[in-house]
Chains A and B, each alone.
Chain A
Amino acid sequence: MATFPSIIPSRRNFSQGDYPSKTYRSLSGVIVKRSFGNKATGYQLEMEFQHVNESTLDRILDHYDGQQGTLTSFSLPSALMSGYDSTTRNKILAPPSIKWFYAEAPQVDSIVKNISTVRVRLVGELA
């Protein structure tokens, strides 16, 4: 399980997971929820690395290949949540029993020669 490259993103967006459940909605409008597990899942983390050089771009692309794309899980380095204290950082980077996967292949915008912007979208799943 190779750790994601330790690069500080230019922009990041985190969405916390939810507890697996289904909702039965009656005709009266009353709902009943059925819980299926005691741990949250479906975390999402989107990051943008603006104006990075080719060496940095290669690290991200190589990591994606090393994980066989969206197939295998990996851990996240603390640099991704630089600026937060350790408590918050751990809640985001290592929720209980959560493993991080690529949600899709990294998206690369070529800006000028040797400069690109990369967007990475990850999902945190129980696995």
Chain B
Amino acid sequence: MDAIRIVQYFKLVDSSGTPYNYQNYFVNERKKLDGSWYDFAPFRVEGTVSNVTGDNALLQVLFPAVDFSIKLAEQADGNRLTRLTLTTQWLNANQAVANSYDERHIGIGASISETTLELRFRSAMDSVGSQFPAQAMTRRNVGPLPTSAQISLQ
């Protein structure tokens, strides 16, 4: 593969259930995904997709600070408790979808600078607690127990 073409579909639903749909690849075009229309918006997505501990990951979506994005943040109550479904699609050279997956996040706030609006999210699933899974370490789940406190899980 010598070229990667990725389009991201941003579907934000605020606490009142109002959806805001945007895609970031097809410039000035409307695209349909799962029965909904997505307008073009020049946003970018940054952040952790997943980590080894299963803790909720921080995701940032950056929009230019223009009328529609500020309106989006204001109407979504500063991006608090919004629900984001981010669909990432890989396109082939003919711009047909080769692969696709969805991620779901919860809005935790927003900030704005003179040029950029930053919407912050965390992944919807969090680990239950720091001791998750809450099990005692036994010979059954880690094998022969060492005589020292140094354990290497591989």
Do A32 and B4 touch across chains, with their CB atoms under 8 A apart? yes
- Asked whether any CB of chain A lies closer than 8 Å to the CB of B26, the reply is yes
Which B residues lie at the A interface, using CB under 8 A?
1-6, 25-29, 95
User: Contact: B26 with A32, CB < 8 Å?
Assistant: no
Chain B interface secondary structure, helix, strand, loop or mixed?
loop
Residue of B whose beta carbon sits closest to that of A22 = B4
Question: Inter-chain contact count A-B, CB under 8 Å?
Answer: 33
Interface contact B4-A97, CB-CB below 8 Å: no
Residues in A with CB closer than 8 Å to B27 are 37-39, 97, 126
Near B by CB (< 8 A), chain A positions 1-60 give 21, 31-39
Task: Please state if A34 and B28 are interface contacts (CB–CB under 8 Å).
Answer: no
Q: Is the CB of B4 within 8 A of A34?
A: yes
A33 near B25 with CB under 8 A, answer no
Within the assembled complex, what's the spacing in Å between the Cα atoms of A32 and B5? 11
- Would you call A35 and B3 a contact (CB within 8 A)? yes
Least Cβ–Cβ distance between A22 and chain B, in angstroms: 10
Which residues on B sit within 8 Å (CB–CB) of A126? 27-28
Q: Which residue on chain B has the smallest CB distance to residue A39?
A: B27
Would you list 26 pairs from A and B whose C-beta atoms are within 8 A, ordered by A residue?
Answer: A21-B3, A31-B2, A32-B1, A32-B3, A32-B4, A33-B2, A33-B3, A33-B4, A34-B3, A34-B4, A34-B5, A34-B6, A35-B4, A35-B5, A35-B6, A35-B25, A36-B25, A37-B25, A37-B26, A37-B27, A38-B25, A38-B27, A38-B29, A39-B27, A39-B28, A126-B27
